Amino acid sequence: MPQRYYLCPVVLDDRGRRVPSIKLEPEFANDENASMTVVIHDTEDIALCVVNIRNHAALAAKSGVDILPDFPLDSKVGSMHQATKLAMRARLVARGIDAAVTDNADGFRDIVNHIGRTRLGNAGFDADNFSA
């Protein structure tokens, strides 16, 4: 089961806590290995989630959710299919992430780290230690 990175809106739960708009329950309750780790900044309107589930298509189809490409962290962005790269770039720009991040990134890890460190303000964020 591959893990994938998602960007989604931050919403308030019934206790007034800031949580990602995507949830694994109850829809993915039968996926015994389903897991999710989240980075949320106190003042930002998006969350970065890494999700490990069998059916990513169902979660990616939810309104307001952007799934990042199924691409290894170690891979060079230049080797990404051009249409995939452009679609990712457009989704990131729509989320307030500068196009230069995608344009100038050496590897996919650089993009994920930029989202965690810069867009979400977590200076210690490290994609290598962010897993579901």
Choose one of 51, 67, 83: the last residue of a domain: 67
- How confident is the model at residue 35, as a pLDDT? 87
- How confident is the model at residue 43, as a pLDDT? 84
Same domain, 1 and 36: yes
Least confident of 45-49, 105-109, 127-131: 127-131
Q: How confident is the model at residue 19 (pLDDT cuts 50, 70, 90)?
A: very high
Give, as one character, the DSSP assignment of residue 122: -
Choose one of 67, 83, 98: the last residue of a domain: 67
**Residue 84 structural domain:** 71-124
Q: Is 96 left (phi over 0), alpha (psi -120 to 50) or beta?
A: left
- How confident is the model at residue 110, as a pLDDT? 96
- How confident is the model at residue 108, as a pLDDT? 95
Same domain, 78 and 60: no
Same domain, 100 and 47: no
Same domain, 77 and 106: yes
d(CA 34, CA 13): 21
Whether this model's pTM surpasses 0.85? yes
Choose one of 30, 47, 67: the last residue of a domain: 67
